[in-house]
Amino acid sequence: MNLAEKIYELRKSRHWSQEELAQELNISRQSVSKWESNQAIPDSEKIIQLSQLFDVSTDYLLKDDLLESSSVQKGSTPAKRVTLEMAKNFIDLRQKMAKWYALAAAILITSPIALILLSQAQESGKLDLTENTASLIGIIFVLSFVAIGVGILIFAGMQLSEYEFMENEPIALDPGIIPLIQEKQHQSRNAFIGKLILAIVLLILSPLSFLIAELLFANEFISIIGIAILLILVAFSVALLIQTSIPRNTYAMLLEEGEYQPSKKKVKSKIEPWITIYWMTALFIYIVYSLYFDAWATSWIIWPAAGIFYVIFYIIISNTQQS
């Protein structure tokens, strides 16, 4: 192996990201990236630092084709190798599944619309239906939408199941792949920022549909239409965020940046069961509350509230596991 490959393998043996190695050496991540892609060579001072940091000789670093197995830290979990073809397939599949995840989120968010419209239309006399009939039809719509949304999520999750290790375990990219992924990441930056701004602006403005209907028309049915429009805007915004964020996160996974650094992957694997418990609890509360109080028309508010509290819950659980 040449020097670039040895630096890469030694870093992976410690389960460090490029950022973490850069911090150890007090240099920029870009410098580490150039070393590993053979675009630059460390100076003599950094060679000595590297040998001390990884407990290998300078001869090992500078001479090609020496056996590396005895030099890599014993007891470390080997990182899974990722080839160029595997990385490309992973990127393409994640981009395709991002559309399905976005669609599922939009379907789930808009699932209460039919129920609240039917309930209000029946109550205001616009539909010649009994209250029970209107509620039954609305509930059928809600459950159908939820079933479709969950089905899509299961389908997308199964498609990506063979790549779960990318998110939860240390990986080792073949030399030369990193610059290609970094270039794709850079090219997607402007589009990501533009769509992110659009989605956030729409989320902020979405309550206006309800406020305008409530304040200008003073009609309950029109106010409910305002709520329906609000949910549609929220669904579109969330779908846009998901469709934009998933491909962006894909590059972070492959480069092991941010929340996908090896040290953080260990924490993430520990908190995943708690996340499942949280959302199952939210679903249980939603169903019990809706059935017990017959509040299907208003219980949708549980989900935005659950989303807000999830952020707090995630921070607390993450800090607990890290400590």
Domains of the chain plus CATH, in order, are 3-62 (1.10.260.40), 84-256 (no CATH), 261-323 (no CATH)
pLDDT in tens, 60-105: 777 654 444 444 444 455 677 888 888 999 999 999 999 999 999 9
- How far apart CA 89 and CA 20 sit, in angstroms, is 27
**What pLDDT is recorded for position 72?**
46
- How far apart CA 82 and CA 262 sit, in angstroms, is 15
**What pLDDT is recorded for position 233?**
92
**What pLDDT is recorded for position 66?**
42
- How far apart CA 296 and CA 131 sit, in angstroms, is 13
pLDDT in tens, 218-242: 788 888 888 889 889 989 999 999 9
- How far apart CA 302 and CA 323 sit, in angstroms, is 31
Angle value at C-alpha 254, between 201 and 249, nearest 5 degrees:
10
**What pLDDT is recorded for position 175?**
67
C-alpha dist (Å) from residue 105 to 70, 145, 149? 50, 10, 7
- How far apart CA 117 and CA 121 sit, in angstroms, is 6
- How far apart CA 6 and CA 46 sit, in angstroms, is 14
Instruction: Give percent of the chain with pLDDT exceeding 90.
Output: 18
**What pLDDT is recorded for position 261?**
79
**What pLDDT is recorded for position 297?**
62
**What pLDDT is recorded for position 131?**
81
**What pLDDT is recorded for position 65?**
44
**What pLDDT is recorded for position 155?**
95
- How far apart CA 265 and CA 128 sit, in angstroms, is 56
Give the count of alpha carbons within 13 A of 258, CB side only: 9
pLDDT string in tens for the chain (323-residue length): 678 878 888 888 777 888 888 998 999 988 888 888 878 888 888 888 888 888 887 777 776 544 444 444 444 556 778 888 889 999 999 999 999 999 999 998 898 888 888 888 888 788 788 888 888 898 899 889 989 999 999 999 999 988 888 887 888 887 678 888 888 888 888 888 999 999 999 989 988 988 888 888 878 888 888 888 988 998 999 999 999 999 888 998 898 887 787 777 777 777 878 888 988 898 889 888 877 887 766 777 787 788 788 878 877 887 776 65
Span between the terminal Cα atoms of the chain, in Å: 38
